[in-house]
Amino acid sequence: MGGGAEAMSILGLAMSKNKSKILTTKKKKNEFPSAFRAGAGAGAGGAVFTYLMSYDYLFKYIIIGDTGVGKSCLLLQFTDKRFQPVHDLTIGVEFGARMVTIDARPIKLQIWDTAGQESFRSITRSYYRGAAGALLVYDITRRETFNHLASWLEDARQHANPNMSIMLVGNKADLAHRRAVSKEEGEQFAKENGLLFLEASARTAQNVEEAFIKTAAKILQNIQEGVFDVSNESSGIKVGYGRPQGPSGARDGTVAQRGGCCG
């Protein structure tokens, strides 16, 4: 009888532990994916954990701009190297991540793609906090998306870190024959507001890589110049653990969790 009770007690404890584990690993909407959180990948998955977490720095990005300008498509092209012409509008916030190399240093980019609809602006504003970089996107074929840049920039300046690096991106450069905003206008807006600037195409991948990489390079430069306090994670920067120690060949993959496309 005692042995049976002991066995039941052990079984109950195991079930309790398993239940606790299930409850604590339940993913909430917009929660940082478990594969990237400290402690993920322990045991048999430890090598995966080591790879995912092996970076010199993590930079948090946010992508902002009107709905339909191609924010989600830019992110998908950057993380997955593909273009998705048929898509749903972004609802709330979506997430993507990728490892890159800047000045021979492994950098992880954690990128939050926001909805452009006015009804989601309050949600978007909460993601400005703790962002080290931003892509401010407009559609070169839609004049109104360019006219709204000042409003988006005002939001960013009001709610984000004052040292956040911002890249202005004129998307859909492949549709230059339908252009409603000249490249010179984009350059002038960027110059007047202290922004980086590129025209890009999520469809053809033109300058997509450059937009993300140049923003990261600017952030790294600011770190080296002492602009950021990297010990304060509200800066949108996290100090990592150096180069990967996992299996060889598990180095340069893109890591992404996504849904939908152009938002």
Residue 95 is predicted with a pLDDT of 79
CATH of domain 56-239: 3.40.50.300
Domain boundaries of the chain, sorted by first residue = 56-239
Q: What pLDDT, in 10s, does the model give residues 93-109?
A: 677 999 999 999 999 99
Distance CA 222, CA 59 (A): 12
* pLDDT score at 53: 53
Under the banding of pLDDT at 50, 70 and 90, the label for residue 114 is confident
Residue 15 binned pLDDT confidence (cut-offs 50, 70, 90): very low
CB 261 within 8 A of CB 84: yes
The residue to which tokens 């790294």 are assigned: 220
On the 0-12 / 13-18 / 19+ scale of CB atoms within 10 A, 40 is: middle
Q: Compute the distance between CA of residue 147 and CA of residue 80 in angstroms, rounded to an integer.
A: 30
